[in-house]
Chain A
Amino acid sequence: MKFSYKPLNDKVYFKNSMRMWLNVVFFVIILVYVVLVGVVAFIVQNKGSEYTEKALEQGLVSSSSDLDYKRGTIVDTNGTVLAESKTYYNLVLEPKQMYITYRGKVEEDGTDNRSYPYVENTVKVVAKITGKTEAEILKLIEDNKDSSYLVLQEPVFNEETGEPVMVTTTSGKVQKKEAVRFEYKSKAEFESYKLSPDKEINGVTIDHRYVGCARFEEHYERVYPNGSLASNVLGYVQKDGQGAWGIEESYQKYLEGKNGYEYSYYDSELNAQKITTDAVDGDTITSTINASIQKIVEEKILEFDKTWDYDNVAVVMMDPNSGEIIAMASNEGFDLNNPQDLSYYYSPEELAEMTDTEQTNALYKMWRNYCVSSTFEPGSTWKLVTVASALEENVITEKSTFNCEKYVNVAGTVISCSGTHGKQDVAGAIAHSCNPALIQISSLLGGEKFYAYQEHFGFGRKTGIDLPGEAKGILMDAELITHPVELATSSFGQSFNVTMVQMASAFSSIVNGGYYYQPHIVKKVTDSKGITVKENKPVVVNRTISETTSEFMRRAILQTVEAGTARSAKIEGYSVGGKTGTAKRGVRSDLIYVLSFIGCVPVDDPQVVCYVVVDNVHDEEKKASSSLAQGLFADILKEALPELGVYPEGEIDYRIDETVIEDNGIDESGDELVLDADGDGIIDGTNLPLTSENIAVYLDKSIEEAQNIIDGSNGEEDDEDSSSEENTDSDEEILESDEN
């Protein structure tokens, strides 16, 4: 056999025209592919959520909400639960799966002889557990035959009117429905029907093999057992699981866990298949807050609230030896279980009139934590810092004396005091809260050092407390504070802003021997197995003053309470040390006072520091009286101290310095005289021409004395820059003095 081969008889080349058309084909292919990628992207973009939802409905459960994690618990220092997540169950029915299994068949003549064992048995059990009738459940299942994910819902009714609540959806107005919540015992009961073969309902034996295609889905709900207790400290949890405000926000990453996944599906032989990844629960937060103390504080604030009308009241209680916050409260708490509710502060009519922005602002005002987020001028409580700084710098000694003649002329500005204190030592100056003495001390210290000590005591920056929204406060610029008037007003706590936490921490360091502890509100974080994940041990971030200075300061504030301006803060049987403050803000014609008191107990070895601030009391008589703050301080501590294990130590008057007691120059309201720089200004808003007669009448002095004051103010060429006060809340030329 012979093979032969005849190759192509014609030679035809792949011509340029063919290449050209092939290129066209190729580009068409590219175009089509690009469009196809676009189509896929379009499906993902536009139908993603819709189709994923549908996939869920048909029984393929892969939702992240399926196995919710349990958010961590927040407990107080004694283990009392402040916030926890409670389990509840939703009943999920799977009608589609119930109808897949049947007995009997459809006869040829069309009669349907099928019976569905899952439907028969499960409906009975579900009806019993939910308390509904079998017919109701059966109808629900029959109406939703194609669904694999049917949550048992109930219509919502308005609590007051009893009318059904309507919501508008794409298909018009429908009655609002909410998933029915079940307790664990419902779930357990259901499981028992699945497991034990001989149970009966209404005399009918349930076939346990066909109790199924229904399950109790676990969910959690954030519960605050104490209602509004420590609301500003705790914060609440939003619907998306994110904490808002307070510990819930700042410890979000510990409190939140990780969702578990459950893919459950039915293969074509209807075997239920399940792949489960367990959820990881959140960590437990142990707060430094003492719930019982917090409760006392909030009760006392409430009592105070009933007596007085004011803008704000806030209390911080702190352990000076560790920086732990024991209690922190303001009058603006809210119901943690219902954080959007403004009804406590506004009447329904007021609420109805409010715009959305106003409502939002009101909510924010209610949610924010006054103690860390608000700043104010500290007033005379600051004098402790000025004195401690000066002692530390050795510009004064404990024995230094200062003279007070009620008025002092600082670079052309007359600043008055609450009384004529005469010659007094440092402790006396504190006890009398004497402005001229402090002005002298600060001028000895000098502006630069004064500013350095402000920073040294942690002012002008965040303390780093583990709460969200902390303010820094506003300090006067380092250059400005060297100006005599600014330095003078700063020396008694005006013209710069601080937060309560800053003040409490600085005061703690003054009384505890000079150790500035990092203030904190969370003691430790433990995971669900009890292993400590994070522990906030007391951290000394700074040494502020020496032990000797601290010891002197403690003596001075004890005298202040025992015999000075802070006598209202006395607590029977305890050695209380503290300092009052009456800071002014606002314009001259409409003065607003921030009353405050900061103190510690017992003064020899302080265990508790408590700082009370009352902002703007709407009472002409008492608006400048720090005794309100002192009273609140005393009320709170009287009850709180035994709770904290600090007991009365008996009579303590023996240590009082006699010289201080003699002086009775305590004048709570305090006179003020303000002259403007060129000497023809106004007196205290009365618009009187500045004559010696007017001053004499106003201040109850002789004409000569008045003339001396005028001479004093005119005698110095003032270089005062009126803009220098811009940093403060005040628009007065000068303001000072104060109190007690």
Chain B
Amino acid sequence: MEFKTFVFYFLSAILVFAALRVITARNPVHAALFLVLAFFNAGGIWLLLHAEFLAITLVMVYVGAVMVLFLFVVMMLDINLERLRQGFWSYLPVGALIGILLVIEMAMVLGGRYFGLDAMPVPPEPMAGFSNTRELGRVLYTDYVYPFELASLVLLVAMVAAVSLTLRKRKNTKYIDPSLQVSVKREGRVELVKMQAEKED
């Protein structure tokens, strides 16, 4: 076995295991951390495909930012697992039946026949000096500039939606305006009073 193949199987095994643990872990924090592990291994597999930009961005965006905030929320939630598990066994037969059906159907269609090595030729090895980042940048800002700009507007929609649904101005909040704090002068705080010395006699 080639070294690369070994690395691929190694990463894939961890990826599959981590992904399984995401849905089977009882503790939501553990599940979230396993998701982090899964992202990490997926990034590794992408690296094997010479997609270093995507791989590193995956780690940076999902592991470095999204999952941190996700953990933030999950840790603060007090999820009652018992209630979540209610009705699990009564739904299981139907769910399992549909799941198995789907798996069989997908296996029939997606089995090695159509997406195997014969159907999908191996892409040529990139030339020396090939930079995944440069190539992605090139197509992103030329051929795909329209969807790229639209995607930025989708993010804008998400921001506007999130802010408009959550921002509340509370009346009794004790907000301090930092610019006022900074511009405080001595005269505003201390008053020096000149007064005669008083003698006790």
The answer to whether A and B come from one shared complex is no
- Chain B residues at the A interface, C-beta cutoff of 8 Å: none
